[in-house]
Amino acid sequence: MNDDLRVQYEIYPYPPRDPEEEANRLITGSPSHIAEIEHHIFAGTRPAADTLNILVAGGGTGDATVMLAQQHASAGISVDIVHLDISEASSAIAKARIDARGLDNVRFVQGPIESLPDLGLGPFDYIDCCGVLHHLADPGAGLKILRNALALRGGMGIMVYAPLGRNGVYHAQAMLNMIAGNAPDDQRIATAKQLLSNLPASNWLKRNPHVGDHTSLGDAGIYDLLLHRRDRAYSVPELVGLLQQGGMRPVNFTDPARYEPSIYLADRDLIEKCRPMNWLQRCAFAELLAGNMKTHILYAVRDDNGNNTLAVPDTPDAIPVMRDDDGLTLAAQVKPGMSLNIDFEGVKVSLPLPERAGDILALIDGEHPLSAIHAQMENAPDWENFKRDFDRLYGSFYGLSRMFISKPAG
């Protein structure tokens, strides 16, 4: 089956990327944004190692590899990144993208994840495994292989498919397997296009607005979404079980607000009924309630890492860091009494902001700690009231993965 997957990605590298576009934009996302890694895996600090060892497991056409290489180079952090992929064609695209940026901090290795123990690589401080585990013959065994390649204090960024937001995808896969399962790939693509153009209005895939690879990414998108020969999805409980099987424990999901039932519920009694649930039970409830999550993205560490790796703003020396936004620019847009409004793929929610949100945001530059921000504020409240306002601001922005916490080295 690995040979089938290799052939698929040789013919249909995914996602399709043009190295010439590197001159115009850097594709960023989750997992593996540098601010997210430091926050979730290293407790808000940058590891003291002279060079960070990073593995991109199943790197494909290079989105994570390019982002990691460029962000660390821009931050002046020495990294040795290994891009491991089963497909020579996909890796060639990733390498061309790296070369287009003039980066020299990536090595390319061809092979499946299962070959990692024989390659003499690692240990790694961080592993990106985005969109790969759900394509392995034995995801638990594959995750355990990656776990064993991690340094003791290292961690992973993981993305797997989620079932509810992919409603209709697996129905379409089943239909195509019935009518074109053994046909050559070009015929399978043609049959998929025929089927897509004939779906009735009642069909779940046609009614699902949350998946679009089959309409936006050409033949590669159709193949990866509807014709993949090994593809499964994980609910929150199933994903937690997979992590446990692989010797890992979850730290947090990205966009953690999406995993909080109270943002979807207006009934206070229902919110109170959810309150006794533990964190992962609340996440599972929110997934069922929202009904539109098509992936789960989370950070995880080895199960024998007893440290609290998630950074929190618990001391005056905590440094708030905007993921991509500019605090001063945001401050000009925020008025007293405003909320942070977001559309979670059809679910519109409002996250509250404190009255002093603009005053605080204007002083967040990724370098000054909370104590300095408090001291620089005009008409600053006492520390207790400032901290209450900041915690409310942080809760909303962190809930959308837009603000993180950094801590001073040492």
Of the ranges 230-234, 302-306, 336-340, which one carries the lowest mean pLDDT score? 336-340
Is 311 a member of any domain?
A: no
Whether residue 18 is found in the same domain as residue 94? yes
Please state the rounded mean pLDDT for residues 116-126.
96
Whether residue 52 is found in the same domain as residue 177? no
Whether residue 192 is found in the same domain as residue 139? no
How many CB atoms are closer than 10 A to CB 176? 21
Do 251 and 155 touch, CB atoms closer than 8 A? yes
What pLDDT does residue 1 have?
A: 55
Please state the rounded mean pLDDT for residues 309-327.
95
pLDDT in tens, 193-206: 999 999 999 999 99
Enumerate helices (H) and strands (E) in the chain, giving the number of each: 17, 11
pLDDT confidence tier of residue 409, bands split at 50, 70 and 90? confident
Number of domains in the chain: 3
Of the ranges 55-69, 275-289, 330-344, 372-386, which one carries the lowest mean pLDDT score? 330-344
Please state the rounded mean pLDDT for residues 271-291.
97
Please state the rounded mean pLDDT for residues 375-403.
96
Cis peptide before 313 (omega within 30 of 0): no
89 sits in which H/E element: helix 88-100
The residues facing 297 across adjacent strands are 159
Whether residue 148 is found in the same domain as residue 257? yes
Please state the rounded mean pLDDT for residues 20-39.
96
Whether residue 187 is found in the same domain as residue 141? no
Whether residue 178 is found in the same domain as residue 41? no
User: Which one, of 62, 123, 121, 122, lies nearest residue 87 by Cα?
Assistant: 62
Is 314 a member of any domain?
A: no
- Assess whether pLDDT exceeds 80 at residue 315: yes
Single residue among 183, 204, 227 that ends a domain in this structure: 227
Whole-number Å distance between alpha carbons of 299 and 156: 6
pLDDT confidence tier of residue 364, bands split at 50, 70 and 90? very high
Whether residue 8 is found in the same domain as residue 107? yes
Whether residue 47 is found in the same domain as residue 135? yes
- Assess whether pLDDT exceeds 60 at residue 120: yes
Is 309 a member of any domain?
A: no
What pLDDT does residue 410 have?
A: 61
Please report how many Cα atoms fall inside a 13 Å half-sphere around the Cα of residue 312, on the Cβ side. 6
How many CB atoms are closer than 10 A to CB 33? 21
Do 385 and 391 touch, CB atoms closer than 8 A? no
Please report how many Cα atoms fall inside a 13 Å half-sphere around the Cα of residue 6, on the Cβ side. 12
**320's torsion region: left (phi>0), alpha (psi -120 to 50) or beta?**
beta
| Mean confidence (pLDDT) of the chain | 95
pLDDT confidence tier of residue 135, bands split at 50, 70 and 90? very high
**Residue labelled with tokens 């495994």:** 129
Which domain covers residue 182, as residue numbers?
168-227
Whether residue 221 is found in the same domain as residue 334? no
Helix axes 169-180, 185-196, angle to 10 degrees: 130
**247's torsion region: left (phi>0), alpha (psi -120 to 50) or beta?**
left
Whether residue 290 is found in the same domain as residue 324? no
Whether residue 385 is found in the same domain as residue 283? no
Whether residue 260 is found in the same domain as residue 366? no
- The pTM of this model reads 0.96
Single residue among 302, 330, 351 that ends a domain in this structure: 302
- Assess whether pLDDT exceeds 70 at residue 380: yes
